[in-house]
Amino acid sequence: MRKLLLFGFLMLTSVSAAQAQTLADYDYENLTFRGFGFDYGYIWPNKVESTDQYSVRLDLGFLGPAVRIATTLSYWSSAFKEPELQRLADRLEQLPALQEQGVDLSAADLGRVRWSDVSATVDAHMVWTVPGNIITYLGAGLGIHALNGRGTSIEDTFVEDLLDSISPAIAFSAGAEYQLVERIRLYGEGRYTLLSDIHYPGLRAGVSIMLPQRPASAGTTGGGR
């Protein structure tokens, strides 16, 4: 996690150094709701099966030269992998009450257990345009994830409570956008999300609708992207 945080910090600061010279370049003047998008993605978590992910992205404008702020709301749901279920069963066997009774648990005893996640993330994107009028970006963000465990055999038990949590997360992303027609953009993004309980890479693609905007303030670069 420390290496990922350091990489993300160096990645963003190296790009921003080329875009602005002083802290005075950064303010809230151009932070405004500019548009929204919908996307479909696929993730590869370490503890549950690979699964679909659905997201809504809100474009909140520019904090400074080429620094775009976006909020993403996402949802996914998937079943635990069998090795993870077995690890959970092994941990439960260590409980004194079960040891006294000589209970021997296996993954099969827990049945099918699912984990779902609802999250909200705020990202900072360092944005620039490449040939072909394609907008590219590198990003890092902070989020909050509400994980919910459920399954027929664990319903209304302390095991279900153990799998429920609200956890902070960090995320790193890289993506590209292409304006298909006026105010309609197609975008694709690669993303890596890291929580204390689970981590996963993912890919997503979607469409965003940009709203009419007031003219950008003088001296602001990137406000029209």
- pLDDT per 10-residue tile (average), the chain, 225 residues: 49 46 54 93 97 97 90 97 85 68 70 93 94 93 96 82 92 96 95 95 97 61 51
Report if residue 44 sits inside a domain. Answer: yes
Q: CATH number of the domain at 152, please.
A: 2.40.160.20
The residue segments making up the domain with residue 198 are 2-18+30-76+117-210
Give the chain's domain count. 1
Residues recorded for the chain:
225
Residue 186 domain-assigned?
A: yes
- Which DSSP string corresponds to 56-81? EEEEEEEEETTEEEEEEEEEEEEEBP
- What is the reported pTM? 0.80
How far is Cα 176 from Cα 45, in angstroms, rounded to an integer? 23
| Predicted pLDDT of residue 27 | 57
Tokens encoding 102: 């000589």
Neighbouring-strand partners of residue 138: 126, 174
What pLDDT was estimated at residue 111?
80
Q: Is residue 160 part of a domain?
A: yes
Residue 200 lies in a domain: yes
